[in-house]
Structure 1
Amino acid sequence: MVELKLKNELQKNAKIQYMPNGSVNLTCFRYPVFMPDGWEASDFGKARQSNGEYRTDSPRTDNIRRAKNSVFEIAAANEWKYMVTFTLDSNVIDRYDVSAISKPFLKWIQNTASRRGLRYLIIPERHSDGAIHFHGLTAGGLDLVDSGTVKVTGKKKPIKISTAKRLHIPTEEWRTVWNVSNYRFGYSSAIALDGNAEAVARYVTKYVTKDFSKIFGKTYFAGGAGLRRRLPFELLNLDFDEVCGREYSAPYIGAVKYARISAQELETLKAKSQNMDFAPVGAAEPLQDWEPKEKEKKRAVAAVC
């Protein structure tokens, strides 16, 4: 039997996302819009338990932004050891043929995960000539050998150790570049990470760009035992007017604020928001600041005519 509850018993107006460095990402709407996992909106001001076929977060129309958010969360929520790049050798595999690459590459990475404990987040990308390669993050499961090159500040590509010495680059600025010996489809590189989880997450997210296409039908590949796909979060009600942050007007939803705050600031907000209440279910905030795009205006005029 499907359980029903009033939406205002469940919906919250704020989502708190706990970052690895202890700070908090806050998204706060003037009215409740967030539904907890396992519930979905229904008719007549009620909510019903979800059968798992629907997303319970607020709907997003921007696929690229959704993909970037997913990649960022997985990257930030896990501990990684290496930033990796995998290219494809045309003598081994057709670098341009998605169907030729998909099965062997995915089989290799999934087998490495299941048999050797690899945890991974891999993003496929095309070179300017259309050839496919991969960037990502890994922990465990890879056999590494010293490539004889190092990554240094100011150089886009790794350089030989002899070159680094000739240029008098201090050894503390060297970052060893490793090759993955159990990768057999082309060139590989792995560089140890410095432990700044959020910086790493933002760096790897940059590979999901506005020109990004789902090469294998997916934006990214992620897996391995213990992989966390979301940052810890909490849904709650906060006083919108007490949130310090720039206010935006979201179409069909209303006013929203985004802020990065400390844990102490969150506790202060919670204290100020005790015993707050919202308008009855069905009340809506007028979208005073939002203007439809020109195309939408023309469609509306055409519909009236």
Structure 2
Amino acid sequence: MVRAVDGVDITANRAETVCVVGESGCGKTVTAKTVLKLIDMPPGRIVAGEIRFEGRDLVPLPPAEMRKIRAKQIGFVFQEPMTSLNPVYTVGQQIAETVRQHEGLSRRAALDRAAEMLRLVNIPNPQRRVQDYPHQFSGGMRQRVMIAMALSCNPKLLIADEPTTALDVTIQAQILDLLDEMKQRLGMAVLLITHAMGVVAEVAQRVVVMYAGKVVEEATVEALFATPRHPYTQGLIRSIPRIDRAASVHARLEAIPGTVPSLLNPPVGCRFAARCRHAMPDCVAAEPPLREVAPGHKVACILYPEHRP
């Protein structure tokens, strides 16, 4: 058994954007999909823990109950809209299907809702474009369609899995502004999965940093960028290009040495120890727990007095 996600504890509050960051393979997408039980079971399974939504544990719910929660109360924006949208149905039909299933609207009323949602996400001429197919939209427009579909039933929580991946920076900014506008308008919580620290700085109120299936740091966005505590978080921030640093044609971005450990046989102790510049013998003796080192700032590292044995 491989623990793709191990002991992750994340809370998203109403009208708050929580960003989950980390390199590819750290467990961000599995965490997001597990909330709605969208992982393939089998082989995937939830072996322990709870997924609490408004005080209700989703783990024991049967598939029929989960279908009532998906889209209606928790919306999901997938990473790649071209593979998430059905190519043989119009975008209007696909948005209307969600509305008809959860709100019982007629076909005509559901298509009108679909057009209204396209207008809400700033797609021009929505009454005509509901009749178009996914391939007739650009990448940015397809992502807007996915957001319109996820918001069509006014969910209380929106999970967005890297919604700006493969989009140019102008479209990225538009998508992020749109998500923030919808959050303010609907008062929903947003769980945003990303690996881009620039996106985090732009939209997050709180940040959760994951590494090798575990949470290694959690803080407000201001605290994370001002005083990153975990060596992995520090490495992520050091790897960001900075325009305020002395420019040189020979300058190289700082990279984190080594590779991510295999989750088939994870190391004992801190999983980042083999790549950490501050590693000491205690790091491989036992796994450091996630503890609060400042108000609202948690870190899983023994470099701080609160963590020392």
Give TM-score scaled by structure 2 length.
0.28
TM-score (norm 1): 0.28
Q: Which has the larger radius of gyration?
A: 1
Q: Which has the higher helix share?
A: 2
Higher relative contact order (CA 8 A, sep 6+): 1
Instruction: Give the number of the structure whose residues are more often strand, by fraction.
Output: 1
